[in-house]
Every structure is written in structure tokens, then in C-alpha cells.
Amino acid sequence: MTESISSLRIKGKLRPENVLYVGCTHIPFEHKHYLEFCKEIQSRCKCDQVVHLGDLVDNHSISYHEHDPNGWAPLTEMEETDKHLEKWFKAFPNLYLCRGNHDLLVDRKGKTVGLPRRCFQKFRDIWNLPKGWIDGFEFTIHGVRSIHGTKRSGKLAHVNLAIESMSSAVMAHLHSNLGVNYLSQSGGETFGMAIGCGVDQEKYAFAYGVDSRYKNVVGCGVTTDNGKNAQVFPMRL
């Protein structure tokens, strides 16, 4: 059994210079073993900091994809999401969350029907994010830029992100991308890292991608040595 993160922290076995990057979870449609996998990698790599790269929740019932008529109604999906989130909150009491395009669906739907922002709660209030979860659109930790990656595409999206950022960078969003590419830029050696996702491809929420040429790759990523090195970890399904 993986030792608890709080226990590892108390024993000084976690290192603040090491960061775990978690991919798109699309809760409640995440892979049933993904949380334990991320905890295992965090423990193995001694990561004291955690960044979730967005699409924490799926919001399938209010999305712009074609809806499954046999799927959950919006309230039922939210209640199921709450149950799953409790496990993530407990596993990672402190976390940086980059908001993804699925996380923003409530605001997007509001604009579609013409409702002003005051009609809606903030994202963190909708899902009761714990105080230890800091949410925003991007973060830079140890010189490594992390964003969700909305509107970026292609197998080299993470490389282009690093080039544009003029720094090392990490992204998710593209579920079929998992890998690290090192670059030599004017500021020195940098890398672009794509960390795949944490979803269950068989769930009805992902039926829109059934004919996609590229399939989901479940995994996560880690940076060590204050952002100097990066590594990805595929989860063997």
C-alpha cells in the first residue's frame, strides 16, 4: 500500500523541488485506477508539489458535444462528480489547478443563453474546492510554465508551447500526447512536456472520439531538480 502523502511529508521524504503534473481527469469519468497511479508516482518521485493541468471535471451533460440520451442529467452528474472529488481532495490536500475548457463550460453556457456573470458561482465554489487548492489559468513553478493547452493542437503542441514561452512548459488537453522533448533556446536548455490524460476511454462521455485516429494515453509527468529535468509515466492499462 502506498504510504500516505501526509506521512511522507512529516517524515521529510517529499522534496519541494520535485513537482507532479496530473492530466485531464474529466471527473466523474476518470479511469478508476488513475488516482492511485498518480499517488504512487508522487511517492516514488518524492514530489511535494502537485499541479493538475485542467479539465478537472467533464460537465458532459451541459457540453457542446452530442449528449448521450441514456447518460446522467446535469444535477445527477454533479452529485456523482462531488463523490469522486472527495477522494481527490483527500489524496492531494494542496494542489495548483489550471482551469481547462471543460471546467469553463458553465460560463460558456451562460454566454450562449445570454446570462450575465452575476448569475453564476465561481468555479471553486461550484465544486467546493478546498483552501489548499489554488486555481488559475496558468502557473510557473521552478521556471516551468504549466497551462491546460486549450485551442492547441498537433503532436508537437507541447514543443511549440515551450518555444513560444521561451522556457520549459507542460500541458495536457491533448489526450493522445505523452512525451518530453528537450530544446536548446537562447535562455539555455528547456523542454516541452505533454502528459496525456487520466480518463476512461470506454465511458460514454468520450464517445465523440470513437473514430479518432489517435487514442487516449493515460499518464502523468514529473519535473525534478527545480525544473531542470522532466519525465513522463504511462499507466499500463
Residue 230 has pLDDT above 50, yes or no: yes
Q: Can you give the residue range of the structural domain that contains 113?
A: 5-234
Mean pLDDT of the chain: 93
Give per-residue pLDDT as tens, 64-95: 988 888 999 999 999 999 999 999 999 999 99
Number of domains in the chain: 1
**Over the stretch 115-173, which tens digit does the pLDDT of each residue have?**
888 888 999 999 999 999 999 999 999 999 999 999 999 999 999 999 999 999 999 99
Looking at residue 6, what is its pLDDT?
57
What was the pLDDT predicted at 10? 44
Q: Could you give the 3-state DSSP secondary structure of residue 193?
A: strand
pLDDT band at 18 (very low <50, low <70, confident <90, very high): very high
- Is the model's pLDDT at 1 over the cut of 70? no
Quick check: 178 pLDDT over 50?
A: yes
In single-letter form, the type of residue at position 172 comes to: A
Number of neighbouring beta carbons within 10 Å of residue 189: 10
Residue 147, H or E segment? strand 144-147
Place 237 in a pLDDT band, splitting at 50, 70 and 90: confident
Average pLDDT over residues 91-102: 98
Strand 95-98 to 133-136 pairing: parallel
Q: What is the CATH number of the domain that holds 78?
A: 3.60.21
